[in-house]
Chain A
Amino acid sequence: MRNIYKIIKNRILMISSAIFIVYLLLYLLDIIIPAYLGVNNINNLMVFASKNNVSPTAPELGYGWYNYLGTTYLGIRILPALIASLKLDLTIVFVSLLLSLLVGFFIGISGGIIGGLYGKFISLIDHTFFNMPYVIFVLFLVYVIKPSISGFIMAIAISWFPFYIRRIINVKKMDEETVSAYVKKIFSHLTPYIISDIGSIYGILTIITFFGLYENNPFIVNLGNILNLNGNILNLITLGDWWVVIFPLIFMVIFIIVTNLMGYEINRRISNGK
Chain B
Amino acid sequence: MIKNKYSMLMVKYISSFIGITIILFILFKNIPERIIVNNYSSSSYSILGLKYPVFIQYFYFVYDMITVNMGNIINPIYSGSIRNAMIILLPETLFITILGFIVSISISYKIGFFLGFRSNKRERLDVNVFPLVIFYFLIPLILIAIFNGITAILPSKYILPAYIIPYNFSWIKLMNDNIFISHPTDILFFDSMIHHSPIILINYLKNFAMPFASLIIPSTVYLSIFTKRLTSIEYNKKYIRIRIVKNIGDDKFIYHIKRNIRYTMLNEFKTVFGLFLGGEIIITYIFSYMNLGEFLIYSVMNYKTGIFGVVESTFIFTMMIFIFNMIIDIITLAGAKNEEYI
Q: Of B143-151, B168-176, B186-194, B201-209, which stretch is located at the interface?
A: B143-151
| Chain A to chain B: the 9 pairs with minimum beta-carbon distance, closest first | A135-B278, A128-B19, A203-B134, A242-B145, A200-B130, A240-B149, A133-B277, A237-B149, A143-B300
The answer for the CA separation of A77 and B20 in the assembled complex, in Å, is 45
Give 1 or 0 for each of A157-178: 1 = CB within 8 Å of chain B CB: 0000000000000000000000
Let me know if A3 is at the binding interface, CB within 8 A. no
Give 1 or 0 for each of B17-42: 1 = CB within 8 Å of chain A CB: 00110011001001100000000000
Let me know if A268 is at the binding interface, CB within 8 A. yes
Let me know if B73 is at the binding interface, CB within 8 A. no
Let me know if A260 is at the binding interface, CB within 8 A. yes
Let me know if A132 is at the binding interface, CB within 8 A. yes
Known A140-B27, A200-B131, A212-B301; judge A131-B321 contact (CB<8 A): yes
| CB closest residue in chain A, given B31 | A144
List residues of chain A with CB within 8 A of the CB of B149: 237-242
B300 touches which of A142, A246, A263 (Cβ 8 Å) = A142
The answer for the CA separation of A131 and B131 in the assembled complex, in Å, is 19
Shortest Cβ gap from A185 to chain B (Å): 17
When the two chains form their complex, are residues B133 and A136 in contact, meaning their CB atoms are under 8 A apart? no
The answer for the CA separation of A209 and B144 in the assembled complex, in Å, is 20
Give 1 or 0 for each of A193-222: 1 = CB within 8 Å of chain B CB: 000100110011011001111000000000
Let me know if B243 is at the binding interface, CB within 8 A. no
List residues of chain B with CB within 8 A of the CB of A127: 12, 16, 19
Let me know if A130 is at the binding interface, CB within 8 A. yes
The answer for the CA separation of A247 and B281 in the assembled complex, in Å, is 23
When the two chains form their complex, are residues B19 and A253 in contact, meaning their CB atoms are under 8 A apart? no
Known A242-B145, A256-B134; judge A211-B27 contact (CB<8 A): no
| CB closest residue in chain B, given A202 | B134
Let me know if B317 is at the binding interface, CB within 8 A. yes
- Other A-B pairs, 9, CB within 8 Å; known A133-B275, A242-B146, A246-B142: A124-B15, A132-B314, A136-B277, A140-B314, A142-B300, A143-B299, A200-B131, A207-B282, A237-B149
Shortest Cβ gap from A148 to chain B (Å): 12
A264 touches which of B30, B128, B282 (Cβ 8 Å) = B128
Known A134-B133, A136-B277; judge A271-B16 contact (CB<8 A): no
| CB closest residue in chain A, given B28 | A144
The answer for the CA separation of A135 and B144 in the assembled complex, in Å, is 22
The answer for the CA separation of A271 and B285 in the assembled complex, in Å, is 40
User: What is the number of residues of chain A that contact chain B, defined by CB distance less than 8 Å?
Assistant: 52
| CB closest residue in chain B, given A246 | B145
Let me know if A141 is at the binding interface, CB within 8 A. yes
**Chain A residues touching B, majority SS:** helix
Interface CB pairs A-B, < 8 A, 29: A125-B19, A127-B12, A127-B16, A131-B16, A131-B318, A132-B274, A133-B318, A133-B321, A134-B133, A134-B275, A134-B278, A135-B133, A135-B278, A136-B314, A139-B314, A140-B27, A140-B300, A143-B300, A200-B133, A203-B137, A213-B301, A234-B144, A237-B149, A238-B149, A246-B142, A253-B134, A264-B128, A267-B126, A271-B126
Let me know if B232 is at the binding interface, CB within 8 A. no
| CB closest residue in chain B, given A257 | B131
Let me know if A181 is at the binding interface, CB within 8 A. no
When the two chains form their complex, are residues B23 and A132 in contact, meaning their CB atoms are under 8 A apart? yes
- Number of residue pairs across A and B with beta carbons under 8 Å? 149
| CB closest residue in chain A, given B322 | A131
Give 1 or 0 for each of B212-256: 1 = CB within 8 Å of chain A CB: 000000000000000000000000000000000000000000000
The answer for the CA separation of A239 and B150 in the assembled complex, in Å, is 8
Let me know if A146 is at the binding interface, CB within 8 A. yes
Give 1 or 0 for each of A104-132: 1 = CB within 8 Å of chain B CB: 00000000000000000000110111111
When the two chains form their complex, are residues B145 and A139 in contact, meaning their CB atoms are under 8 A apart? no
When the two chains form their complex, are residues B27 and A135 in contact, meaning their CB atoms are under 8 A apart? no
When the two chains form their complex, are residues A131 and B134 in contact, meaning their CB atoms are under 8 A apart? no
Let me know if B75 is at the binding interface, CB within 8 A. no
Shortest Cβ gap from B324 to chain A (Å): 10
Taking CB atoms and an 8 Å cut-off, the chain A residues in 224-274 that contact chain B are 227, 234, 237-242, 245-246, 249, 252-253, 256-257, 260, 263-264, 267-268, 271
The answer for the CA separation of A234 and B156 in the assembled complex, in Å, is 9
Shortest Cβ gap from B6 to chain A (Å): 17
When the two chains form their complex, are residues A134 and B274 in contact, meaning their CB atoms are under 8 A apart? yes
List residues of chain B with CB within 8 A of the CB of A211: 285, 297, 300-301
| CB closest residue in chain B, given A244 | B145
When the two chains form their complex, are residues B150 and A136 in contact, meaning their CB atoms are under 8 A apart? no
